[in-house]
């Protein structure tokens, strides 16, 4: 699975995700990547999210929209919302994976609960960062 989230100079957020699914999948299985609110979500009032991991769990947890809701209705920061959903809620369910997120202020979060996540990030003020493991 691959994905991207971005904030442009006009304050607009966007998210996109694309995947080949799981090796050996059957019966037309669909994961979270193409499901708006589960694997992908963007809202200028909150954040943009793209997920990767065990899709069945991300669908059941409605991960991307859940993070947006925690920010919009409960007033959590992007980091608080991401950490809660990825490192507490998903872990308790047994869901492995992670996500990338940007809020409307340009804050970036890249939480994951797996061994690693292939990721890179950059904003107008900082150098490019590329990581695979913690």
Q: Is 91 in the site for other proteins (CB under 8 A)?
A: no
* Shortest Å distance, C-beta 103 to other proteins: 9
Q: Is 90 in the site for other proteins (CB under 8 A)?
A: no
- C-beta of residue 46 within 8 angstroms of C-beta of residue 76: no
Q: Is 77 in the site for other proteins (CB under 8 A)?
A: no
1, 40, 46, 52: the catalytic one is 1
Q: Where on the phi/psi map is residue 37: left (φ > 0), alpha (ψ -120 to 50), or beta?
A: left
Rounded CA separation 86/63 (Å): 8
Taken in order 42, 84, 98, 26, the sign of the CA dihedral is: negative
Q: Is 102 in the site for other proteins (CB under 8 A)?
A: yes
Residues 13-72 interacting with other proteins (rule: CB under 8 A): 13-26, 28, 30-31, 33-36, 39-44, 48, 50, 52-54, 56-57
- C-beta of residue 112 within 8 angstroms of C-beta of residue 86: yes
Catalytic, 23? Answer no
Q: What is the size of the binding site for other proteins (CB under 8 A)? A: 77
* Cα end-to-end span (Å), the chain: 19
Among 74, 88, 91, 122, binds other proteins (CB under 8 A): 122
Q: Is 75 in the site for other proteins (CB under 8 A)?
A: no
Of the candidates 3, 43, 6, 2, the residue with the CA atom closest to the CA atom of residue 122: 6
* Shortest Å distance, C-beta 75 to other proteins: 19
What residues are labeled active site?
A: 1
């Amino acid at each position: 699975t691959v994905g991207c989230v971005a904030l442009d100079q006009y304050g607009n957020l966007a998210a996109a995700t694309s995947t080949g699914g799981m090796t050996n999948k059957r019966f037309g299985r669909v994961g979270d990547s193409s499901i708006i609110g589960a694997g992908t979500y963007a809202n200028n009032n909150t954040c943009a999210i793209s997920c990767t991991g065990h899709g069945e769990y991300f669908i059941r947890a409605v991960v991307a929209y859940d993070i947006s809701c925690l920010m919009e209705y409960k007033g959590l920061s992007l980091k608080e919302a991401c950490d809660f959903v990825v490192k507490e809620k998903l872990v308790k369910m047994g869901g492995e994976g992670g996500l990338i997120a940007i809020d409307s202020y340009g804050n970036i979060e890249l939480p994951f609960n797996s061994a690693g996540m292939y990721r890179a990030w950059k904003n107008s003020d900082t150098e490019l960062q590329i990581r695979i493991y913690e």
